Structure 1
Amino acid sequence: MTEYVIRFLLGGAVVSAFAMLGDVLRPKSFAGLFGAAPSVALATLGIAVYQHGAEYAALQSRAMIAGALAPAVYSFVVCQLLIRTRLRAIPATSLSLAVWLTIVFGLLALAGGQA
């Protein structure tokens, strides 16, 4: 139970700090970017270091990087299919899902995860 309280407090503090940073930066679209993923990732990594040690947290951070790169590649492929081949949205996203799965599991295997 105390782990959840610590996670809640730490996550809330980090989310608030990143939200303030996003509010200061321009353009305002950065506010949403800084308000979610980095703050949750930092809180999770802080707890992972505390509970499991630095090696485990390093493995988790590599998995987070792989998890961040895969949607970027997926988005690029979807855009290319929509623009160059003039596919409709559903076929383009469905085809790109296979690309996303290949990228995410490939990067996870390279990062030392259990794919």
Structure 2
Amino acid sequence: MSEYVVRFLVGGAVVSAFAMLGDVLRPKSFAGLFGAAPSVALATLGIAIYRHGQSYAAVQTHSMMAGAVALAVYSVVVCQLLIRARMRALPATLLSIAVWLTAAFGLWAVAGGQA
């Protein structure tokens, strides 16, 4: 139970810090971007290092980076389908899920994913 309390406190502090950073930056849409994912990732990595060691946290870090790249690829494909192909949102996102899965698992395999 204490792990959740630590995650809550660290995540809350980092969310607040990133929210202040996002408030300073322009456009304001950065505030939401900086608010959630970085704080959760940092709290999770801190707990992983504490409980499982640096090598375990390194594997988690590589997985997070692969997921971020896959999300970026997915986002670009969705935007292209919405803007250039003039598809509706639901079909564009459903088609792009295959792209996301391919990118995520491809990067995971290249990075030496766990067997």
TM-score range, shorter chain: 0.7 to 0.9
- Once the two structures are superposed, what CA deviation does each residue of 1:76-111 show, in whole Å capped at 9, x if it has no partner? 122223344343333322222111111111111222
> Residues 68-107 of structure 1 correspond to what in structure 2 (within 5 A)?
68-107=68-107
Whole-Å Cα distance in 1 between the matches of residues 93 and 32 of structure 2? 24
* Alpha-carbon spacing, 1:85–1:30, altered in 2? closer, same or farther (3 Å): closer
Q: Which blocks of at least 5 consecutive residues in structure 1 are unaligned? A: none
State the identity %. 79
* Alpha-carbon spacing, 1:82–1:7, altered in 2? closer, same or farther (3 Å): closer
Whole-Å Cα distance in 1 between the matches of residues 24 and 9 of structure 2? 23
Whole-Å Cα distance in 2 between the matches of residues 12 and 110 of structure 1? 34
Q: CA deviation at 1:36?
A: 0.8
Give the aligned partner of residue 54 of structure 1.
54
Aligned length: 115
Give the aligned partner of residue 41 of structure 1.
41
SS in 1 for 2:12: helix
* Alpha-carbon spacing, 1:26–1:3, altered in 2? closer, same or farther (3 Å): same
Residue 45 of structure 1 aligns with an amino acid whose one-letter code is L
Whole-Å Cα distance in 2 between the matches of residues 90 and 32 of structure 1? 23
Deviates more, 1:82-91 or 1:104-113: 82-91
Whole-Å Cα distance in 1 between the matches of residues 4 and 88 of structure 2? 44
Deviates more, 1:75-84 or 1:3-12: 75-84
Deviates more, 1:15-24 or 1:36-45: 15-24
Residue 17 of structure 2 aligns with an amino acid whose one-letter code is A
Q: TM-score under structure 2 normalisation?
A: 0.87
Residue 38 of structure 2 aligns with an amino acid whose one-letter code is P
